[in-house]
Structure 1
Amino acid sequence: MRKFGNFIFGALIGGVVGSTLALLFAPTSGDSARKEIVAYFNHIKDEVNRAADEKRAEMLEQLEALRSGK
């Protein structure tokens, strides 16, 4: 399970880096590109926080199950 988590983390980082480079080298104005980058990073931050909250809830359920002996 840890390898899968590492894979997902790597895929997210790769996506962020690739998208950022694509935006930086796209034929748009600097101001427009910066706004797009900020919006994209805010979106990624929200997605990572959502995924972390889901994983945290899943782990708390597993911990509770272990504590109750299920």
Structure 2
Amino acid sequence: MSEPSTPPTQSYEQAREELADVVRKLEGGGLTLEESLALWERGEELAGICQHWLDAARERLDRVGPTDD
């Protein structure tokens, strides 16, 4: 799974919710092979968007570093 090359237009929350919907549809079955493949591909894209946001958040946290309170 690859990350998007440009910043995603969807927020993490939007992508996660759409990804959950894709998973529900795939698990529900009753789809043609073409529909299943299209949903799978969209799911991969959404997972990449989510990963982009998670990686960006981790980088921000790493820059802040641990605090000695």
Give the alignment's TM-score, normalised by structure 1: 0.56
Paired residues of 2:26 and 2:36 also in contact (CA < 8 A): yes
Q: CA deviation at 1:15?
A: 5.3
1:1-70 map, 5 Å: 12=20, 16=23, 18-22=24-28, 24-25=29-30, 33-66=32-65
Q: CA deviation at 1:59?
A: 0.5
- Identity of matched residues, %: 8
Higher RCO, 1 vs 2 (CA within 8 Å, ≥6 residues apart): 2
Provide the rounded CA distance (Å) in 2 between the counterparts of 1:60 and 1:36: 36
**Where in structure 1 are there 5+ consecutive unaligned residues?**
1-7, 27-32
Q: Which has the larger radius of gyration?
A: 1
In the comparison of the two structures, how many residue pairs are matched? 50
Runs of 4 or more consecutive aligned structure 1 residues displaced over 4 Å after TM superposition: none
CA change 1:21–1:51 in 2 (3 A) is closer
Q: CA RMSD in A?
A: 2.7
Provide the rounded CA distance (Å) in 2 between the counterparts of 1:21 and 1:65: 40
Give the alignment's TM-score, normalised by structure 2: 0.56
